[in-house]
Amino acid sequence: MSEKTEKPTQKRRDKARKEGNVAKSAEFTGAMVVLFAWAGLSAWMTVIVGRSAGLITHSIELVSGRNPTQADIGPFLLAALSELGLMIAPPLALAFVAALFFNYVQIGALFTLEPLMPQGKRLDPVGGFKKMFAPKKLVDLAKNIAKLTVSGLLGYLVIRDKLPMLIELPRMTLSKGMIIVSDVVFDLCMYLGGALIGFGIADLFWQRHQHEQGLMMGKDEIKREYKEAQGDQQVKGERKKLHRELLRGGGTKQVKKADAVVVNPTHIAVALRYDADAGGAPRVLSAGRGEVAKEIKRLARRYGIPIVKNIDLARALVDTEIDSEIPAEFYEPVAELLTYVYRLRQERENDSQ
């Protein structure tokens, strides 16, 4: 196997995309989701704090004055779930939209079930074991360790900075305590989100680099693909040629009106007719090569039209425009051919009588 040193062709890229093999960074998408969720929380924080305080106050009132019954708890839980849904719905919706959008930005519109199809190589235990220690897996492990380390360090620094206020929470009013907690959450999301975005952008470039490397081709693959493409073009060329011939031979339906068919004799056939009443020169009713020629000869035999072998004349007339008069330089050989055909026809008629 040759070394993969050549950039992938467009055909290789298209095939990989069809199979779902695209450059996509889950780290980048996740970072953007966190960023937009944080933005949603920031914009919605006043509402969240107010509703949370009201929910806590209501729950305290429910249990402080009397023993709640089952009839009290049911409506309270329903109201609490409703409040919780209203609090988290906008940030979650924003995060969901961000996930869709940044996936689309990376890979565009793509739907394929190819990655879900069963493949024998995925069931190979030896290959799976080797992949556990592949360079890509080791890089992923290093990335995860780095993320955990940085996230833990940032979380520690934020909590350490806010620790004096957090210690005072039990002695604060509910509303002030909620503000302090929201402030801590805000800072955590901001710093951790910033770190995740940094990791996400780096991972995006890394994934694109890895994807490009995975699509690299060897010189033998490039040559093989080129030959296949040339073969496809040759087939298409033959089809186009046949199509043109069929169009040129559109007059095959007129073969039954011909006086004679001149052939070369293998792959050329020209149907000729001379109308003495109309005057003028003989006309080409149909002409063609290959499959068209076979069809003309088949129809000639079907309708009893004489088939005459004349290699030079067939080659000379095959490209004549359909339903047009023959060129003047071929009047004499065509006249001789038609005279011969008419004489044969007359002899057959005499024999039949």
Closest CA to 215 of 11, 10, 1, 12: 12
Q: How far, in Å, CA of 272 to CA of 285, rounded?
A: 6
CB 197 within 8 A of CB 147: no
pLDDT at 344: 86
Q: How far, in Å, CA of 87 to CA of 90, rounded?
A: 7
Domains of the chain: 4-215 (no CATH), 249-352 (3.40.1690.10)
pLDDT at 311: 93
CB 260 within 8 A of CB 272: yes
Residue-wise pLDDT for 14-31, tens only, equals 887 887 778 888 888 888
Residue 139, pLDDT > 60, answer yes
- Give the residue with greater pLDDT, 260 vs 254: 260
Residue 246, pLDDT > 70, answer no
Q: For a pLDDT cut of 70, what percent of the chain falls above it?
A: 78
- Give the residue with greater pLDDT, 291 vs 239: 291
Residue 71, pLDDT > 70, answer no
